[in-house]
Chains A and B, each alone.
Chain A
Amino acid sequence: MSEKTEAKVVVPTARPLGEYLLSHLREYGLLFALIAIMAFFQVMTDGTLLKSVNITNLFLQNSYIIIMALGMLIVIVAGHIDLSVGSVMGFIGAFAAVLVVQWELPVVLAIPICLLLGALIGAAQGYWVAYWKIPSFIVTLAGMLVFRGLSLWLLEGQSVGPFPKEFQALSTGFIGDFLPGTAGDVLIGIVEVRRINAGALLIGLFAASVILWLELRRRFQDQSYGIGDEPLAFFIVRNIIVAGALLFVVFKLSTFRGLPNVLITMAVLTVIYAFVTERTTIGRRIYAVGGNEKAARLSGIKTERLTFLAFTNMGMLAALAGLIFAARLNTATPKAGFAVELDVIAAVFIGGASMAGGVGTIVGAVIGAFIMGVMNNGMSIMGIGIDYQQVIKGLVLLAAVIFDVYNKRKQG
């Protein structure tokens, strides 16, 4: 190409607030929906929702859904679906029980073996979908049935437990306070609570500052390349909300027992998967496969291999979820994971993914999972029956998807 051009720097014109909001409705909408739902339930439960113990429970109860949502997002973005995750989750939990409780294998060996098995299961399903082009709906439906049956067989219809302490720590462990006791005491004095895990607060502060720093850096970069168009007001408010919410949650957690292990696991995995999907070539290629498989293939992307990997990854995450779930209950039961795939899939769609593939984000899926989790939790506290809970969850899912399609139609 001749040297005629150098990238021109375009100074973005200020966009009217209303117009900006409309075009980014979906992203903000999700965040506001979560806040609104939390506010709603906080009121309806007379303040129980945001109590320290409940927030801690929120994370503990929904960890496995969030972890699986990470994998499911990738499968859905690639243009497929995985109905087997609940069954695989239960199966691996059962397998772990057999390994650890019955065969007394050391936990440190059992966990990797279980994760590997999950990956193999995912690979087996992925093989048929990717290379034989059998619709994923059918393959994973078969998987769902097969592994539910295998769980039952493995456990001989019974619950198996209890697990050793090291295993339980997966779910129920907390990060101990690593700061000297005086730090905690000082804070207790200030805030008037019974106890405080100062170490947790420190981690929280650190995380919040990292997030703020990254956002600021991105804003500067965007501005210098002429693509930033988020009005300053929005930027400030959004970040205050996010950082504030983060600190609030961490504070609440720290006044109970501190940061749960699962929270760290979830947070680390979320960061990793968000990074991979948004910032790496492999992530970009997966979105391409979901967006237009033929065009992706003709652009040199190995579409079959990526689909295969998406399912393998999903299997591994389902296995992790199974381990966490079994650790939390401290037993493996034949019913573990039953119908959980529906919650996971709903979370991903609420988070903005599209059935057609190529659309959806990790952060959206996680927020979607939280929305489901808060609804579950809030409704339980309120004493709403499971029947109504299902109805409401279904309606929320439908509303989210209708909103998406409506928005898209207006845009396109």
Chain B
Amino acid sequence: MPALLEMQRISKQFPGVKALDDVSLTVNEGEIHALVGENGAGKSTLMKVLSGIYPAGAYEGAIQFNGTTARFRDISDSESSGIIIIHQELALVPLLSIAENLFLGNEVAKHGIVNWQEMYRRTEVLLKKVGLDESPATPVGKIGVGKQQLVEIAKALSKDVRLLILDEPTAALQENESQNLLSLLLQLKAQGMTSILISHKLNEIRQVADRITVLRDGATVSTHDCSLAPISEDKIVQFMVGRNLSQRYPERDRNPGDVLMDVRNWNAWHPDFADRQILKNVNFSVRKGEIVGIAGLMGSGRTELAMSLFGKSYGRGVSGEVYLDGKQVRVDQVDRAIAAGLAYCTEDRKELGLILDESIVRNITLANLGEVSSRGVLNNAEEQEVAERYRLAMNIRTPNVFQRVLNLSGGNQQKVVLSKWLFANPQVLILDEPTRGIDVGAKYEIYSIMNELAGEGRGVVMISSEMPELLGLCDRLYVMNEGELVGELTAEEASQERIMSMIVTD
């Protein structure tokens, strides 16, 4: 089979990080090619390069598509060549109908006037192709996520797709819907369609993929031809995570004490889609002086777990019990959660963790204003002292503490958020991707601070997608997948393979 797509020696550099390092990918005509890798491996970046989101010139290397060199300037360029991506977060407008969504930006119209009859007719033809039995006039928001996925595929078909890229298509689907989708993919393949399937569900990949490419840390690790020999899931896992753990982590004495926080029977549903359960009976605990990690892929529910615990800031129908130091505590509102001794350092620091237009001082003291005021009146001198203390302790690089947080670099912004929560003096601190976007030196500083917290007898929960740091710091690890805790490992038992295995295999 000739190659439909050849991505040759693609490299993409961001300030401070090389997202893609000499990556090559070949996709043959009429095959289903699986692209596998953990968070940050470079899959999305590679697809963004392919689809033109990173236009020609923004990366090194070449793309050969359909026999010609492709230099896409933007998405519409790649789409007109026949490359269509269906993203994990579906690009559908819930209030518009199936037909309107299918032909969004591509309407059946003459001189700006839409021909609804023709549009509905074409919609019905496409819906039949994907096996979706719905009226074209149905608002997309009313059909379940499985059917929405089919609408997206129909949309791709309407655009004369040559190469269909599916990003985690079954992530939000029930078992039968997933099977349905996979059969559809095989069907389309039989009709000559070429597709790239990005997924972490190895069992599904082994069902449909002709070839599998594994990416790790921005480089191609291996490409396997399934027609030659079947590959075991363990082998794939090994390719995904097998790396040298060379980074150093600060030393500490590990002697965890009694259970400090105990979360039981924690459940939550999606705020907008009432039938999607996001957290399924989660039970976990943190001991005094312990650093507990929560590993998992994006979308596994870790952030949702933390947010729903912290004042029910996420989710509908959130239920369960939280015990701190043996006593049940109420965490149904944020200030109650803070009063109970919890703190949550958000994943999204700009949107949720900081008030960008305010100064460093005012951000640091925000969660514990009582400490720098008396009878409601703020003490400017004390506030400043607190801010200076943290500026030095966390090594926040800034001319002074009155700088607007907006002007700080990402790493320094993170330090401000961390300072805020340290100042709130929590018993249990939940950190969500605390070292994302931070340079190596600063990371080490943050690890040291975490160790100090544990040393003081507090409990630290670290949600992270970086397995090396989880392994380097944590006393215990929970593994989360699709809203459930699928495993628990001690520091001795844990390894990258075992973690990934728990996530991707059944």
Point out residues on A near B: beta carbons under 8 Å.
1-2, 4-5, 7-8, 10, 221, 225-227, 279-282, 284-285, 287-288, 291-292, 294-302, 358-359, 412
Chain A residues with CB below 8 A from B420, complex form? 299
Taken together as a complex, chains A and B put the C-alpha atoms of A408 and B496 apart, in Å, by 47
CB–CB A285/B369 < 8 A: yes
Chain B residues with CB below 8 A from A412, complex form? 406-407
Stretch of B39-47, B263-271, B354-362, B467-475 at the chain-chain interface: B354-362
Shortest distance from the beta carbon of B343 to any chain A beta carbon, whole Å: 9
Chain B residues with CB below 8 A from A225, complex form? 381, 384
**B352 interfacial by beta-carbon distance below 8 Å:** yes
- Given A291-B357, A301-B335, A412-B407, 6 additional A-B pairs, CB 8 A: A225-B381, A285-B369, A288-B355, A299-B334, A300-B335, A300-B367
Q: List 21 A-B contacts (CB under 8 A).
A: A1-B422, A1-B452, A4-B393, A5-B388, A5-B389, A5-B392, A8-B388, A227-B384, A280-B378, A287-B358, A288-B358, A291-B357, A292-B354, A294-B352, A296-B355, A297-B334, A298-B352, A299-B366, A300-B367, A302-B335, A412-B406
Shortest distance from the beta carbon of B66 to any chain A beta carbon, whole Å: 44
Chain B residues with CB below 8 A from A284, complex form? 362, 366, 369, 378
CB–CB B354/A298 < 8 A: no
For chain B, the bracket of interface size reads: 35 or more
Chain B residues with CB below 8 A from A10, complex form? 400
Chain A residues with CB below 8 A from B402, complex form? 227
Taken together as a complex, chains A and B put the C-alpha atoms of A227 and B355 apart, in Å, by 21
Interface set, chain B 137-161, CB cutoff 8 A to A: none
Q: Count chain B CB atoms within 10 A of each CB in A284, A285, A294, A295 and give the residue with the most.
A: A295
Interface set, chain B 377-414, CB cutoff 8 A to A: 377-378, 380-381, 384-385, 388-389, 392-393, 400, 402, 406-407
Known: A8-B392, A225-B381, A288-B366. A281 touches B400 (CB 8 A): no
**B338 interfacial by beta-carbon distance below 8 Å:** yes
Taken together as a complex, chains A and B put the C-alpha atoms of A281 and B374 apart, in Å, by 9
Interface set, chain B 64-94, CB cutoff 8 A to A: none
In the complex, what residue of chain A is closest to B422 when comparing beta carbons? A1
CB–CB B338/A300 < 8 A: yes
CB–CB B356/A292 < 8 A: yes
Shortest distance from the beta carbon of B441 to any chain A beta carbon, whole Å: 17
In the complex, what residue of chain A is closest to B353 when comparing beta carbons? A295
Taken together as a complex, chains A and B put the C-alpha atoms of A2 and B369 apart, in Å, by 22
CB–CB A298/B376 < 8 A: no
Shortest distance from the beta carbon of A356 to any chain B beta carbon, whole Å: 9
Chain A residues with CB below 8 A from B378, complex form? 279-281, 284
Known: A1-B422, A298-B313, A300-B335. A282 touches B376 (CB 8 A): yes
- From DSSP, what is the main secondary structure of chain B's interface residues? helix
CB–CB B346/A358 < 8 A: no
Q: Which 6 A-B pairs have the closest CB atoms?
A: A291-B355, A7-B388, A300-B335, A5-B392, A281-B369, A299-B367
Shortest distance from the beta carbon of A1 to any chain B beta carbon, whole Å: 6
In the complex, what residue of chain A is closest to B381 when comparing beta carbons? A225
Q: Of B313, B357, B377, B424, which is within 8 A of A359 by CB?
A: B357
CB–CB B346/A7 < 8 A: no
Chain B residues with CB below 8 A from A287, complex form? 358, 362
CB–CB B346/A298 < 8 A: yes
Q: Count chain A CB atoms within 10 A of each CB in B353, B406, B424 and give the residue with the most.
A: B353
Q: Count chain A CB atoms within 10 A of each CB in B344, B355, B424 and give the residue with the most.
A: B355
Taken together as a complex, chains A and B put the C-alpha atoms of A300 and B333 apart, in Å, by 8
Taken together as a complex, chains A and B put the C-alpha atoms of A281 and B369 apart, in Å, by 6
In the complex, what residue of chain B is closest to A292 when comparing beta carbons? B355
Chain A residues with CB below 8 A from B376, complex form? 280-282
Interface set, chain B 187-223, CB cutoff 8 A to A: none
Known: A287-B358, A295-B352, A300-B338. A227 touches B400 (CB 8 A): yes
CB–CB B388/A279 < 8 A: no
Chain A residues with CB below 8 A from B406, complex form? 412
CB–CB A300/B354 < 8 A: no
Chain B residues with CB below 8 A from A227, complex form? 384, 400, 402
Chain A residues with CB below 8 A from B351, complex form? 292, 294-295
Known: A291-B357, A296-B355, A359-B357. A280 touches B400 (CB 8 A): no
Q: Of B357, B367, B452, which is within 8 A of A358 by CB?
A: B357
Known: A1-B422, A225-B381, A284-B369. A295 touches B338 (CB 8 A): no
CB–CB A295/B369 < 8 A: no
Shortest distance from the beta carbon of A189 to any chain B beta carbon, whole Å: 46
Taken together as a complex, chains A and B put the C-alpha atoms of A116 and B142 apart, in Å, by 47
Taken together as a complex, chains A and B put the C-alpha atoms of A412 and B337 apart, in Å, by 35
Taken together as a complex, chains A and B put the C-alpha atoms of A4 and B337 apart, in Å, by 30
Chain A residues with CB below 8 A from B313, complex form? 297-298
**B370 interfacial by beta-carbon distance below 8 Å:** yes
Chain B residues with CB below 8 A from A301, complex form? 334-335, 366
Chain A residues with CB below 8 A from B370, complex form? 281
Known: A281-B370, A297-B334. A358 touches B358 (CB 8 A): yes
In the complex, what residue of chain A is closest to B358 when comparing beta carbons? A291
Chain A residues with CB below 8 A from B310, complex form? 298
In the complex, what residue of chain A is closest to B453 when comparing beta carbons? A1
Taken together as a complex, chains A and B put the C-alpha atoms of A52 and B354 apart, in Å, by 50
Shortest distance from the beta carbon of B357 to any chain A beta carbon, whole Å: 6
Taken together as a complex, chains A and B put the C-alpha atoms of A297 and B336 apart, in Å, by 12
In the complex, what residue of chain B is closest to A408 when comparing beta carbons? B357
Interface set, chain B 321-376, CB cutoff 8 A to A: 333-335, 337-338, 344, 346, 351-358, 362, 366-367, 369-370, 373, 376
CB–CB A298/B377 < 8 A: no
Taken together as a complex, chains A and B put the C-alpha atoms of A300 and B336 apart, in Å, by 8
Taken together as a complex, chains A and B put the C-alpha atoms of A7 and B400 apart, in Å, by 12
Chain A residues with CB below 8 A from B338, complex form? 300
Known: A2-B452, A227-B402, A281-B373. A300 touches B357 (CB 8 A): no
In the complex, what residue of chain A is closest to B365 when comparing beta carbons? A284
Taken together as a complex, chains A and B put the C-alpha atoms of A302 and B353 apart, in Å, by 16
Taken together as a complex, chains A and B put the C-alpha atoms of A101 and B388 apart, in Å, by 61
Shortest distance from the beta carbon of A93 to any chain B beta carbon, whole Å: 33
Shortest distance from the beta carbon of B172 to any chain A beta carbon, whole Å: 24
Q: Count chain B CB atoms within 10 A of each CB in A7, A282, A358 and give the residue with the most.
A: A7
Q: Count chain A CB atoms within 10 A of each CB in B354, B380, B420 and give the residue with the most.
A: B380
CB–CB B334/A298 < 8 A: yes
Shortest distance from the beta carbon of B258 to any chain A beta carbon, whole Å: 24
Chain B residues with CB below 8 A from A302, complex form? 333, 335
Chain B residues with CB below 8 A from A300, complex form? 311, 334-335, 337-338, 367, 424
Taken together as a complex, chains A and B put the C-alpha atoms of A298 and B393 apart, in Å, by 24
Chain A residues with CB below 8 A from B362, complex form? 284, 287-288
Chain B residues with CB below 8 A from A288, complex form? 355, 358, 362, 366
CB–CB A298/B344 < 8 A: yes
Chain A residues with CB below 8 A from B400, complex form? 10, 226-227
Chain B residues with CB below 8 A from A298, complex form? 310-311, 313, 334, 344, 346, 352-353
Taken together as a complex, chains A and B put the C-alpha atoms of A284 and B356 apart, in Å, by 15
Chain A residues with CB below 8 A from B346, complex form? 298
Taken together as a complex, chains A and B put the C-alpha atoms of A411 and B98 apart, in Å, by 45
Chain A residues with CB below 8 A from B381, complex form? 221, 225
In the complex, what residue of chain A is closest to B399 when comparing beta carbons? A10
Chain A residues with CB below 8 A from B344, complex form? 298
In the complex, what residue of chain A is closest to B362 when comparing beta carbons? A284
Chain A residues with CB below 8 A from B335, complex form? 300-302
In the complex, what residue of chain B is closest to A354 when comparing beta carbons? B357
Taken together as a complex, chains A and B put the C-alpha atoms of A143 and B426 apart, in Å, by 44
Taken together as a complex, chains A and B put the C-alpha atoms of A359 and B404 apart, in Å, by 13
Taken together as a complex, chains A and B put the C-alpha atoms of A280 and B362 apart, in Å, by 12
Shortest distance from the beta carbon of A151 to any chain B beta carbon, whole Å: 37
Taken together as a complex, chains A and B put the C-alpha atoms of A221 and B379 apart, in Å, by 12
Taken together as a complex, chains A and B put the C-alpha atoms of A292 and B346 apart, in Å, by 14
